[in-house]
Amino acid sequence: MVREYFQKMDLRNSVPCGGDVKIPAVVGFIFPEQLKELFDKGEKPFILDVREECEVQKMPFKAPEGVEVKVIPIRELTDRANEIPKDKPVITVCNFAIRATMAKMALDLMGYSNVKVLKGGVEQWNQVNS
C-alpha cells in the first residue's frame, strides 16, 4: 500500500533546479494566499483541523462565513474518517503543517483523492488573514 502511494507521486518538480519551483507542491500543500483565492471565488473546501481541542480554543482557524471547519484530532482520524467528505476538496490544518501532512497521507491511503495541506498552518493563515 505504501509503495503504491509513493509511486503515484510525480517527483519531477520536487528539486529546485531554478525558477520558481516550490517543493511543497509535491507533498500537496496549498499556500495561505491560494486558499484565500479559493474563498474569494466562493469555493468552500472542507477544512479539517487535526489539532487537539485545547489548541483550537487558543488559536482557532479563521474561516470565512459558510465554510465548514471540522476538528478531528489526528489521534482520532482513522476512527472518525466517515465524518470527512470524499466528494469535495479537503484542506488539512494544524499549527504548522506537520500533523496536517500526516493526516493528508493517511487520508490518501484511505482513498481520498482531493486533499491538500495548508502550508504554514493555522498560525500563518491567521497572520495573512488578520
Average of per-residue pLDDT across 49-77: 94
Partners of residue 49 on adjacent β-strands: 71, 93
> What's the pLDDT at 129?
83
Q: Is the predicted pLDDT of residue 84 greater than 50, yes or no?
A: yes
Band (17; pLDDT cuts 50, 70, 90): very low
| 76 pLDDT above the threshold of 60 | yes
Q: Which residue has the higher pLDDT, 39 or 1?
A: 39
User: Residue 34 — pLDDT band, cuts 50, 70, 90?
Assistant: very high
For the cut 80, the answer to whether the pLDDT of residue 24 exceeds it is no
List domains and CATH numbers for the chain: 31-128 (3.40.250.10)
pLDDT grade, residue 44 (50/70/90)? Answer: very high
Query: What's the CA gap between 41 and 22, in Å, rounded?
Result: 23
Across the range 47-63, mean pLDDT stands at 95
Distance CA 19, CA 66 (A): 37
Report whether 39 contacts 68 (CB < 8 A).
no
- HSE value, Cβ hemisphere, 13 Å, CA-based, for 114: 10
Residue 81 neighbours by CB distance under 10 Å: 15
pLDDT confidence of 4, banded at 50, 70, 90? Answer: low
Question: In angstroms, rounded to a whole number, what is the distance separating the alpha carbons of residues 88 and 1?
Answer: 24
Q: What do you get for the CA distance between the two ends of the chain, in Å?
A: 41
Q: Phi and psi (nearest 5°) for 52? A: -75, 155
Cβ 75 vs Cβ 91: under 8 Å: no
